Amino acid sequence: MVVLIVIAPKDFRDDELFDPLQVFYNKNIAAQMVSTTVGEHTGMLGGRATTKRTINDVNVDDFDAIMIVGGIGSKKYLWNNEDLIDLVKKFYEKGKIVSAICLSPVVLAKAGILKGKKATVYPVKEAIDILKENGAEYVDEGVVTDGNIITAKGPEFTIVFGNKIAEMLEK
């Protein structure tokens, strides 16, 4: 089992990356990280992560799930990234697990995969509005699962989010 983790090149939310990674590590689930650029990336809280590949280098067939990390960098670098939106669609079309936390469920909405689905997002009006405009049923809960889609509200739900992804991978 391998999870593709997508982070913004700057200002990703540190704990939304590192906490699920720890969950995956503890459960022997492999993870690979990509961003829109390669190199060292800095989180909102100063954490560092290095990527060797970009979103464009990903073969969907190499992964069982995609997890998009949130943080304020998500809006700037990920929300309107057409390559990421296409990647999300491919994961969904192949029946793989598609997950996003904090502000990043907006990417799933923009990919059109939340139509008629329950989903959550970090509770800011703009993000909630985008989910609803794209047909999602917004739910104000910590972690929401609908089919093979998992969305989480924010950093206080990182462990529950990571465990939910792991649980679905193990099925």
Domains defined along the chain, listed by start? 2-170 (3.40.50.880)
Taking a C-beta distance cutoff of 8 angstroms, is the pair 12, 155 a contact? no
Beta bridge partners of 101: 152
- Predicted local distance difference test score (pLDDT) of residue 100: 98
Taking a C-beta distance cutoff of 8 angstroms, is the pair 92, 148 a contact? yes
pTM of the model: 0.98
Radius of gyration of the chain (CA): 14
How do residues 63-97 score in pLDDT, each as one tens digit?
999 999 999 999 999 999 999 999 999 999 999 99
- Predicted local distance difference test score (pLDDT) of residue 171: 87
Distance (Å, whole) CA 128 – CA 137: 10
Q: Which residues of the chain have pLDDT under 50?
A: none
Q: CA-CA distances (angstroms) from residue 36 to 15, 22, 168?
A: 20, 23, 27
Tell which residue, 9, 8, 16, has the closest CA to residue 101: 16
Q: What's the CA dihedral at 4, 8, 14, 15 to 10 degrees?
A: -50
What is the amino acid identity at position 91?
F
Element of type H or E holding 167: helix 158-170
Residue 112 has φ and ψ, to the nearest 5°, of: 80, 10
- The DSSP symbol for 53 reads S
Distance (Å, whole) CA 116 – CA 10: 32
